[in-house]
Amino acid sequence: MRVVEKNGRTVDEAIELALIEMDLTREDVEVEILENDSKGFLGLFGTKEAKIRVTEKENIHHLAKEFLEETLEKMNIYAKVDVDHNEDGLFATISGDNMSLVIGRRGKTLDALQYLSNLVINKDRKDYVHLIIDSEDYRQKRKESLEQLAIRMAEKAKRQRRDIILNPMNSYERRIVHSILQKDSEVSTRSEGRDPYRKVIIFLNR
């Protein structure tokens, strides 16, 4: 968190100088007035400049972006990171060359980056903010693949009249399976086990 102290003929001028130096906007900072400006006698004698202290606000977007960029650089991966809001919280997109290294087998590396990033951005926060990380639309492709898998396995459960146990998945992927099969009145789902080996079980409604 950066802190800058500036002098100026007026408070506004001092703030403007600080914002230019920090390359931030007024919404990104908190301002403390240390000394107000004074025009002095007849505006000629005893004129005093304003002095302010500007503190950068915690910016969760910048925090997530900086952590991801630094982590990727340590992995010798030089990529662009964009962070924005979506309906679920924060969404980070990683783009560049060799994104298969970022995604990993079945998204394992991407999941690990997401897990670590969430730990970092939520440290000492009262309100948990969920960050989802994606690259080359892997999440959407994985979502469609899981939905197709869930539907096929539900049909298998009906055909064979038995429970079907899926491979271990993270919480994000389990939610996808639970959600798509809520529309099927003949089957239900539940999760069993402990992470990272927690599995979804598809069973018939009796």
Q: Does pLDDT of 105 surpass 90?
A: no
The pLDDT score that the predictor gives to residue 162 is 96
Q: Does pLDDT of 130 surpass 90?
A: no
> Tell me, what CATH number does 152's domain have?
3.30.1370.50
Residues 107 and 126 placed together within one structural domain of the fold: yes
**pLDDT band at 52; cut points 50, 70, 90:** confident
The pLDDT score that the predictor gives to residue 27 is 75
- Domain ranges, residue 115: 60-136
Residues 13 and 78 placed together within one structural domain of the fold: no
The pLDDT score that the predictor gives to residue 44 is 52
The pLDDT score that the predictor gives to residue 63 is 87
User: Which tokens hold the place of 41?
Assistant: 């006698």
Mean pLDDT of 116-127: 86
Global pTM value: 0.63
Q: Give the residue from 99, 121, 136 where a domain finishes.
A: 136
